[in-house]
Structure 1
Amino acid sequence: MERPDIYIASVGTALPGDPVDNATLVRRFRLPAVWEQWIDAFVGTRSRHFSMDLDTGRTLHTLADLGEAAGRRALDTAGVPVEDIDLVVMASASPDMLMPATVNVIADRLGINGVPTYQLQSGCTGAVQALDVACQMMLSGRHQTVLVIGGDSCAKHLDLGMNLADMSPHMQVNVMLFGDGAGAAVLTTRALADTPVLRRVFTRLQGRGREPGQIVRWYGLADRETPGEPVTEDFKAIENSAPGMAAEALHDLLADLDWKKEELDYILPPQLSGRMTRRVLDHLDVPGAEEISRVEEIGNTVNAIPFFQLEQILPDMVPGERAIGISVEASKWIKAGYAVEKPASKLEVR
């Protein structure tokens, strides 16, 4: 049986509030002014968006708020009624609560009901995992039009009273790296003219016998006073491993599709930080492809990242163009990727 094409009918994204630049972050956490230059040089991210008011600590947007906004934009752009959605898959490392699952809150708000819903708990490769799950279920023939959501709201874990200057570099760098946001895509097996196709999606665990590169602890009432920092990031290990893992993911996708580097029109690299993105791009060595990066302006939005990148390229792709996106997750070392192509010609069927 011939594999059906999976079309990316639309993408929608959402960011909370105004951008927070490095100078604002330095002032808010009472850091020496020289830190502004340190963030620019060491992290390479200029701004990010937070779901909380940094002055009061009040939550302004939940992850469900952001996911609903992104999902609604994707549905509206695709012109797809909610009644046509027959599966919802979401990825997040920071759901609003353990239960109910944030995916179900979003589905309820969008008016989606009576369909399977899945929520995946993962870091930077979670959105690609969600795309993979959606694609596998669509290829089974049981689902035709799917809403895939990815998003994170990490700011709710910030302690505005902490003395960041006295904390370890593991904690300091996390405050600088991450921003909040959500994205969504409508996928369909219904043939659409002038619409990019998701050619491949894959994820691979590479963490056997390796220490995690990132740990985020989850505290309950009984252990919330446990000593130690809630988040640790082995940035040196990530610097050493991420470029090579990204190159492996690119090689695997190219080999599977029988594509060549020089045939790529767009490269969507991992978005840990501006500095790391540049290092990864040097390692990928795809000089003919246009780099699509958003991390310098919106920070590392974790599971929202691929949707912001796709949102930027999809309107500009012309028939015959190809793009590859790569994700790397340090928590237990996962590499992932996806390939998009705009077919040279396709009849529209509605």
Structure 2
Amino acid sequence: MDISDIRILSAGTALPGHPIDNAALARRFRMDSVWEQWVDAFVGTRSRHLSVDLQTGEVRQTLADLAVTAGHRALAGAGIDGADIDLVVMGTATPDTLMPATVNVVADRLGIDGVPTYQLQSGCAGAVQALDVARHMLWAGGSRTALVLAGDVSTKYFDLDLDLRKLPPAELVNVVLFGDGAGAAVLTSDPVPGSTALRGLLNRLTGKDRAPGHVLDWFGPADRLSERPGAREDFKAIEQHVPAMAAEVLAELLDRLAWRPTDVDYLLPPQLSGRMTARIVEQLALPVATEISCVEETGNNGNALPFLQLERVLAKMAPGDRALGIAIESSKWIKSGFALERV
């Protein structure tokens, strides 16, 4: 069996609560209509789903809660249950706890036991990295069916007492960019008719001698009163580097697979924000590809996004269709992407 024979049977996703639009954020943080216009013009994200109640600060859904829902939906889509899973891999930047690993909490709640489990600590490339680990382990033998999970609950970093009117734009953008969510996919080494083959995958660190573009801190009892923010982002650096890195991923995947730009029927571009996605899609210039994007409605929910896109594209692909997905991680500059073909 060739590694490109690994198949994706299904995908499922979960988002917490109702969408929160920019007007609701403006009311909560006492911002005016000019701020809303700024968000629309420069960020392009209209809504997001939050696991934290904006009024009370109560956490309504954990990452494990969302991943269990996504996992159930993926298993149902594949026509199997937890007892049929031989391997579980999860990618996240925001696990619920350091221990136990969130992947194991999710596996337990899905009725999965006695199998290898892995949790990868990673930003926006984590979903692709989890797919990479799963496909290699399936290809190596010993496991036939894998559940791959990915997601993030970024709003645990929200400070609801912030006065946004005092923040510089570089910090203000973080409040409107992010949302929460989780996704799951079922992979198999069996040649299931009508399934989608994972034809290629790219996962490469390119951050040598480059400052991080995004930092999330862990706060323990010794440093929880630190005045530094838990989340920091160099949005200017991200704007500068992500489009170029996305183009490099596209070029390398096409070359590796001997695909022409006109062979790509669907493009799953990076999902930092609505405006950034539009810029990247225009630059990639795939002549016949249909764009599969959701960030304007879901917000940037990190590792959930590739699976939100995957769920949508699997519902659209016909036999012979090809799709390319790209995810760029700015924390230490990781290029990742994957290629699909409906067989």
- TM-superposition CA deviations, 1:212-270 (whole Å, max 9, x none): 11111211111122232222211111111111100000111111111111110000000
In structure 2, what is the equivalent of residue 169 of structure 1?
169
Q: Detail structure 1 runs of 4+ shifted over 6 Å in the superposition.
A: none
Q: How many Å apart are 1:168 and its aligned residue?
A: 3.2
In structure 2, what is the equivalent of residue 312 of structure 1?
312
In structure 1, what is the equivalent of residue 108 of structure 2?
108
TM-score by length of 2: 0.98
Distance 1:81 1:234 in 2: 42
In structure 1, what is the equivalent of residue 32 of structure 2?
32
In structure 2, what is the equivalent of residue 269 of structure 1?
269
In structure 2, what is the equivalent of residue 92 of structure 1?
92
Distance 1:237 1:4 in 2: 34
- TM-superposition CA deviations, 1:131-176 (whole Å, max 9, x none): 0011111111121100000011111221111112212333211111
Distance 1:313 1:103 in 2: 25
One-letter amino acid of the structure 2 residue matched with residue 42 of structure 1: F
In structure 1, what is the equivalent of residue 13 of structure 2?
13
| Percent identity between the two aligned chains | 59
**Aligned to 2:232, what secondary structure does the other structure show?**
strand
Question: Which structure 1 residue ranges, 5 or more long, are not aligned?
Answer: 344-350
One-letter amino acid of the structure 1 residue matched with residue 257 of structure 2: L
Q: How many Å apart are 1:4 and its aligned residue?
A: 6.1
In structure 1, what is the equivalent of residue 333 of structure 2?
333
Give aligned pairs, total.
343
Q: How many Å apart are 1:272 and its aligned residue?
A: 0.3
- TM-superposition CA deviations, 1:13-60 (whole Å, max 9, x none): 000000000000111011122111111111100000000111111111
Distance 2:316 2:205 in 1: 33
What does 1:226-237 align with in structure 2 at a 5 Å threshold?
A: 226-237=226-237
Is this contact kept in 1: 2:2–2:139, CA < 8 A? no
TM-score by length of 1: 0.96
One-letter amino acid of the structure 2 residue matched with residue 248 of structure 1: E
Q: How many Å apart are 1:316 and its aligned residue?
A: 1.7
Is this contact kept in 1: 2:4–2:199, CA < 8 A? no
Farther-moved stretch of structure 1 (61-70 vs 81-90):
81-90
Is this contact kept in 1: 2:49–2:298, CA < 8 A? yes
- TM-superposition CA deviations, 1:98-132 (whole Å, max 9, x none): 11111000000001000010011111111000000
What does 1:277-296 align with in structure 2 at a 5 Å threshold?
A: 277-296=277-296
Distance 1:3 1:234 in 2: 37
Distance 1:169 1:194 in 2: 48
Distance 2:45 2:4 in 1: 40
One-letter amino acid of the structure 1 residue matched with residue 77 of structure 2: T
- TM-superposition CA deviations, 1:64-98 (whole Å, max 9, x none): 00000000010011111222101000011111111
Q: Using a 3 Å threshold, how does the CA distance of structure 1 residues 79 and 219 change in structure 2: closer, same or farther?
A: same
Is this contact kept in 2: 1:4–1:189, CA < 8 A? no
One-letter amino acid of the structure 2 residue matched with residue 87 of structure 1: L
Distance 2:3 2:245 in 1: 28
Question: Which structure 2 residue ranges, 5 or more long, are not aligned?
Answer: none
Distance 1:4 1:159 in 2: 45
Q: How many Å apart are 1:317 and its aligned residue?
A: 0.8
Is this contact kept in 2: 1:43–1:177, CA < 8 A? yes
Q: How many Å apart are 1:282 and its aligned residue?
A: 1.6
Distance 1:305 1:42 in 2: 20
Q: Does 1:220 align with 2:208?
A: no
**Aligned to 1:58, what secondary structure does the other structure show?**
coil
Distance 1:55 1:287 in 2: 46
In structure 1, what is the equivalent of residue 197 of structure 2?
197
Q: Using a 3 Å threshold, how does the CA distance of structure 1 residues 136 and 195 change in structure 2: closer, same or farther?
A: same
In structure 1, what is the equivalent of residue 152 of structure 2?
152
Is this contact kept in 1: 2:4–2:198, CA < 8 A? no
Q: How many Å apart are 1:3 and its aligned residue?
A: 4.0
One-letter amino acid of the structure 2 residue matched with residue 195 of structure 1: S
